[in-house]
Amino acid sequence: MGQGGEPRRAQAYDGELGAAVARAQDGDEAAFAVAYRIVQPGLLGYLRGLVGDDAEDVASDAWLEIARDLGRFKGDGAGFRGWTATIARHRALDHLRRQRVRPRPSALEQDVLELPGPHTTHDQALEALSTERALSLVRELPRDQAEAVLLRVVVGLDGPAAARVLGKRPGAVRTAAYRGLKRLARRLGAEDSATGGVTDDGPRTLGESK
């Protein structure tokens, strides 16, 4: 049931992505460029949510590793998106350790997945995630919720795939994504109401904007 909210834009390219990856593994450089163009926007959005302005540098490091290890990958287009997200996450965590930035401890040992079905302010939150402002709001969420939302919505992974990236149970990821989207929708709704847009029940527990 929760699959109804799956990010179709990313998944629509999975067939093309899988074919491009297979050709790239056979040495087709143009096919690797196709795979890069399909995956990079979501991967960069995910990394912006984790490391902010350093996302481009971390993405470059991740793609070097992806290119180096491409021959070891086994799977389809959806699997490739999950595999690249895992590599990018490891590079981001390495970067944060080097910067001595301690991730904010999460109140919940949970994370990201299937979105709620009803069309509510969650949908407005999802639409707004393409903006830099929304990504900055995501970064204010507890770490587990932020990653769940980013992997589920920005990268376009399904529940089990996002859970594998995070090393968590799908149910825990689903709960974190739901809570993160609820908080995000509250904040976006509060901002909209201040400018005469959609109203919601006001921000709670998100912390102050930077």
d(CA 144, CA 147): 5
Mean pLDDT value of segment 168-186: 89
The band of 14, judged by pLDDT with boundaries at 50, 70 and 90, is: confident
Rounded percentage of the chain residues whose pLDDT exceeds 70:
68
Give the mean model confidence (pLDDT) for residues 140-166: 89
Convert the pLDDT of each residue in 38-57 to its tens digit: 999 999 999 998 888 899 99
- Cα 122 from Cα 118, distance rounded (Å): 9
Residue 32: the pLDDT is 95
Q: What angle do CA 48, 93, 14 make, to 5 degrees?
A: 60
- pLDDT for 204 equals 33
Q: To which H or E segment does residue 155 belong?
A: none
Region 3-17 average pLDDT: 62
Residue 53 DSSP label: G
Residues 154, 49 contacting (CB under 8 angstroms): yes
pLDDT at residue 100, rounded to an integer: 65
- Residues 149-168, mean pLDDT to the nearest whole number: 90
For 44, the token pair is 């960069």
Most confident of 84-93, 130-139, 156-165, 195-204: 84-93
**In the chain, helix, strand, coil percent, each to 5?**
70, 0, 30
Give the alpha-carbon dihedral of 24, 30, 33, 34, to 10 degrees: -80
The reported pLDDT for the residue numbered 181 is 87
Cβ(181)–Cβ(119) under 8 Å? no
pLDDT at residue 53, rounded to an integer: 87
Highest mean pLDDT among 111-120, 154-163, 196-205: 154-163
Q: Closest Cα to residue 161, out of 76, 104, 58, 66? A: 76
Taking 60 as the threshold, does the pLDDT of residue 173 lie above it?
yes
Q: How far is CA 22 from CA 9, 30, 120, 155, 192, in A?
A: 21, 12, 39, 20, 45
| pTM for this predicted structure | 0.69
Question: How many whole angstroms separate alpha carbon 66 and alpha carbon 20?
Answer: 14
Residue reference for tokens 């301690």:
102
Task: Give the range among 8-17, 51-60, 63-72 with minimum mean pLDDT.
Answer: 8-17
**pLDDT tens, position by position, 67-122:** 999 999 999 999 999 999 999 999 999 998 888 645 444 333 233 333 333 344 45
Percentage with pLDDT > 90 across the chain: 43
